[in-house]
Amino acid sequence: MSMQRIIGVMLLFFLVEGTLFYWLVPSSMVDRIIPHFTLAFVLFASLYRGRHSALILGMAFGLLQDLAFYGRIIGVHSFTMGLVGYMTALMMERRKSTLLMALTMIGLSTLVCDAIVYMIYRVFRLTNETFEWALYQHMIPSLFLQLLFSLAIYVPARRWFEGSFVAKKEEEES
């Protein structure tokens, strides 16, 4: 699948995050389950594509989120998603990821991403929550959602990201 199509799918999921998905979550869990659908795609890109596409996708979709919901600060998601995507790709570059490995990495990276976002907000004094509370309140519940979502899209996402990459490589070689 070409990059344009992947970006289209990601845009769709980005739009769903703040609208359709928001209504699927029961009222009591709204501020506890936070979707990171675009981050999942960025991490798939870093596992099965390469560090540069992960970096660019992460920064672009982070910036989109920052701009579309500009409330207090711009650049937090752009920075963290780019950084986390790049770092994950850097760590996993030489290894072949199986399903279990991919899920573990996505889970870990999502946690790291949440932690960095929390720290940035804390540094700029935009939140007074303690880290333990934030971890228990929304990071862990959203982690489960993220794992479920990654499991659901694992097969197609891997095919999309790996497929087009392999095809491109073969083209270059021939």
Contact positions vs other proteins (CB under 8 A): 15-24, 27, 30-31, 34-35, 64-65, 67-79, 117-118, 120-121, 124-129, 133-134, 137-138
Shortest Å, Cβ 25 to other proteins:
9
Encoded amino acid at 96, one letter: K
43 CA to centre of own chain: 6
Query: How big is the chain, counted in residues?
Result: 174
> Of 11, 104, 12, 118, whose CA–CA distance to 64 is shortest?
11
Of 48 and 118, nearer to other proteins (C-beta) is: 118
Neighbours of 97 (CB within 10 A): 18
Token digits of residue 103: 């899920």
Query: Distance (Å, rounded) from C-alpha 82 to C-alpha 113?
Result: 10
Of 21 and 158, nearer to other proteins (C-beta) is: 21
Classify residue 127 by its DSSP letter. -
Are 14 and 61 a contacting pair, CB within 8 Å? yes
Of 28 and 174, nearer to other proteins (C-beta) is: 28
Shortest Å, Cβ 22 to other proteins:
5
Shortest Å, Cβ 99 to other proteins:
26
Of 72 and 96, nearer to other proteins (C-beta) is: 72
Shortest Å, Cβ 164 to other proteins:
26
